Amino acid sequence: MNLETPKKFRALVNQAHQVAHNVFRPISRKYDRAEHAYPKELDMLASVLDGFNDGNPEGGAGASAASKSGARKDDGGVKNGANMSTLLGTIELCYGDTGLLLSMPRQGLGNAAIAAVASPEQKERLKGKWASMAITEPGTGSDSANIRTTARKDGDYYVLNGEKIYVTSGERSDCVVVWATLDRNIGRAAIKSFVVEKGTPGMEVVRLEHKLGIKASDTAAILFTDCRVHKSNLLGSEEINVEKGFAGVMETFDNTRPLVAGMALGVAKAALERTRELLSSSTPLDYATPVTAGSAAAAELYQMEADWEAAYLLTLKAAWMADNKQPNSKEASMAKAKAGRISNDITLKCVELCAALGYGEQELLEKWSRDSKILDIFEGTQQIQQLIVARRLLGKSSAELK
């Protein structure tokens, strides 16, 4: 595994960095204050990304391209594909603004779910759709296996009933990937994911949430009442395979958790860089001098840089494994846990180190500290990631280690 940015992705990384600086940063505070207002400036940018993805399907800049299961010739060589390019682009774009990245049309986390488990026919039919992801329910947060939304078979249709909350881009997206159970008595093996298109009778966005951070991104609660979804919109097999259990739908997380880790790395990178700039006159960094011989502020910066580098390498590994069709569930959770935690720690410490400048709205440091918190929560909390890693390391099932 080569730890340098692959040559074929350097243009993408540079492009994403320019977007972060020249498009996201100038409007970041505007949409932080105007919660739920759609950032119209993103429409043109989304068209550019669409064109980029069409011209280079292995180098997509958004979550829609992330997949371990795409049709691709496997010649036994090492590959840097869509997962790696998406991760690198995500880090740079979140260096600009995480909420704006999450507001990008047709780049939703639901798109990653479709890329991970949809059939070729479904991928073609849903091409160009903006898909959000609906998993969390009232009383069912971190334990995704405890889904209460039901899907009852009725001829060629499934009838969905239940409520989903904290759906990112739930109001703006074209369709929603909904997790529902075919039979609650069977347990997690009966959980399937369905693509429900906007305008389907029985699906209603009932409210938008007011949040601590990522305010540019709309977060919705959606109610499903006798919502009829054709069986062709079921992702994966209709069969309930008790032996395989939850593995099919959970493969989605193996793709998306490294991307969320990338978001955390991006916002932490922004905070670290700005803090260095603000402290440069009073806190020179000399890497040839022992930590104990410098200032306390410099020592804090050194430690944060080391933590960031560790999280970055873990995240690169998880994406690289996905591109090379290696099971990466443990590595995806390790990356998400480490990056989520260090992002929270770094952004808050940067606010502290910069004192009044860090706490005031003339700088984006306080905003980055608010935005970073969700990155340690959604797609599986810190505690859930550590539990998954423990299960993988100890060879325990979810029933054996809770």
| 247-394 matches 7-125 in CATH topology | no
Q: What is the pLDDT of residue 247?
A: 58
Mean pLDDT of 184-204: 92
Element housing 286 (H / E):
none
pLDDT, tens digit (0-9, with 9 covering 90-100), for 156-188: 999 999 999 999 999 999 999 999 999 988 878
- Report which of 98, 73, 164 is spatially closest to residue 370, judged by C-alpha positions: 98
More confident residue, 107 or 314: 314
Architecture in CATH for domain 131-235: Beta Barrel (2.40)
Predicted local distance difference test score (pLDDT) of residue 56:
44
Q: How high is the pLDDT of residue 249? A: 61
C-alpha dihedral, 104 to 105 to 111 to 115, nearest 10°? -100
* pLDDT tier, 252 (very low <50, low <70, confident <90, very high otherwise): confident
Residue 205 has a pLDDT of 98
**Tens-digit pLDDT profile for residues 98-152:** 999 999 988 777 888 888 788 999 999 999 899 999 999 998 877 777 899 999 9
Rounded average pLDDT over 294-303: 94
Burial 225-260 (b: 16+ CB within 10 A, else e): eebbbeeebbbbeeebeeeebeebbbbbbbbbbbbb
Rg (CA), the chain: 21
Mean pLDDT over all residues of the chain?
89
CA distance 70 to 73: 10
Residue 62, pLDDT score? 43
Say how many CA atoms lie within 13 Å of 299 toward its Cβ.
7
- Mean pLDDT, range 331-348, rounded to an integer: 98
CATH architecture, domain defined by 7-125:
Orthogonal Bundle (1.10)
For residues 377-383, average pLDDT: 92
In three-state secondary structure terms, 284 is coil
Quick one: which H or E segment has residue 249? helix 247-279
φ, ψ of residue 134 in degrees (nearest 5)? -120, 100
Please state the domain extents for the chain: 7-125, 131-235, 247-394
Considering the four listed CATH numbers 3.60.15.10, 1.25.40.20, 1.20.140.10, 1.20.1250.20, the one that applies to the domain covering 247-394 is 1.20.140.10
**pLDDT at residue 236, as a whole number:** 84
> Residue 131: beta bridge partners?
175
Residues marked as catalytic? 379
